[in-house]
Structure 1
Amino acid sequence: MSAQATARVAPPAFAPRPRPEREATPSARLRVVRAPAQARTRVPFVLVCMGVLAVALLSALLLNTQMAQASYAIHDKTNELARLDQDQKDLVAVLDHKSSPEELAQAARRLDMVPAAGTGWVRLSDGSVQGAPKAKK
C-alpha cells in the first residue's frame, strides 16, 4: 500500500458536516401533540381585572361626588359670609348715626344720667372708689 492511500486527509473546516442518515420510519416523522388535560383558564384573571376596574371607577365616582358636595358647601358659606359682612356694615352705619354726641347726650338724659365734673376709678384689689366723681351743676 502506498503512503497516500493509508493517510487520511481531514476535511476542511469550512466544509459542511455530513448529516447522519436517518431511516424513513413512521416514528421519525412529525406528529400532533395533544394539549395537557388540565388546561389553564383565563376566567380568574379576567374577573380580577374587571374587579380592579370596577373599584377604580367607583372610587373615582365617590371622590367626584365628595368634591362636588364640598364645593357647594364652600359656595353656601361664602354667600353667608358676604351676607353677614353686609349686615355688620349696616349695623355699624346705624350705630354711627345714633352715636352722635347730641343723640348720646339725649339718651343719657332719658336714663336720668348727668355729666360728671371729675373722674373716679375703682381699685379692683379691694373694690374701693378712688377720686371724687361729682355731678356737674
Structure 2
Amino acid sequence: MSAAPLRRPRTSTAVPTRATQPRERGTSQDRRHLRAVSAPEQARSLAPFAWTCVLIIMAALASVLAITTAMSEGAYERRDLKIEIAQLHQQRAALVSELEANSSPTYLAEAARGLGMEPHTTLGFVSLTDQAVLKQGE
C-alpha cells in the first residue's frame, strides 16, 4: 500500500453552484475571522518605580528625623523647667520659713522695741457697734 491519498473519480461535469464555488477573497465571512493585532508592548523601565520608592523612604526618614529632633528639644525644655520648678520650691520654702520666723511673738517684740515701742500694761477692746474703745484693767 502506498502513502498517497485515494482520489475519487468525478461523476459529474456540471458547473459548480455558488455553495460549492470557492469563496472570493474579502467576503464578510473571511473578515469575521480577521482581527487587528496590537503592537507589542514596550518593556517598561523599573527606574521610575525605584526612584519613587527611594523618595518615599527618604521622606519617611526625614520626617522621623524631624520628629525626633522636636522631641529632644521638648525634652531639654522639660528638663530646664523641672530645674526651675525645683529652684522655685526651694525659694518658696526659704521665704515661708523666713515669714514664720518674722511672725513669731519674740521677733515681733524685738522689732517693736527697736522702733521705740513699749509694752502696754492694760488690755482694751474695740466695739464696732458703739464705735468706742473699751479698756480693762484701769
TM-score tier (shorter)? 0.5 to 0.7
1:63 aligns with 2:70: no
User: What RMSD over aligned residues (CA atoms) do the two structures have, in Å?
Assistant: 3.3
Deviation at 1:132, TM superposition (A): 2.7
Deviation at 1:117, TM superposition (A): 1.6
Relative distance call for 1:113 and 1:72 in structure 2 (3 A) is farther
Is the contact between residue 118 and residue 134 of structure 1 (CA under 8 Å) also seen in structure 2?
Answer: yes
2:69 & 2:130 partners in 1: Cα distance?
Answer: 66
The match for 2:46 is: 42
Look up the equivalent residue of 1:90 and give its one-letter code.
Answer: A
Look up the equivalent residue of 2:88 and give its one-letter code.
Answer: L
Is the contact between residue 114 and residue 135 of structure 1 (CA under 8 Å) also seen in structure 2?
Answer: no
5+ unaligned residues in a row in structure 2: which ranges? 1-39
The match for 2:12 is: none
Which of 91, 94, 103 lines up with 1:99 in the alignment?
103
TM-score by length of 1: 0.55
TM-score by length of 2: 0.55
Quote the sequence identity (%). Answer: 33
The match for 2:8 is: none
Aligned residues: 96
Higher RCO, Cα 8 Å, sep 6+ = 1
Larger Cα Rg: Structure 1 or Structure 2? 2
2:135 & 2:47 partners in 1: Cα distance?
Answer: 100
The match for 2:132 is: 132
Deviation at 1:134, TM superposition (A): 6.0
The match for 1:80 is: 84
1:85 & 1:118 partners in 2: Cα distance?
Answer: 41
The match for 2:94 is: 90
5+ unaligned residues in a row in structure 1: which ranges? 1-35, 122-128
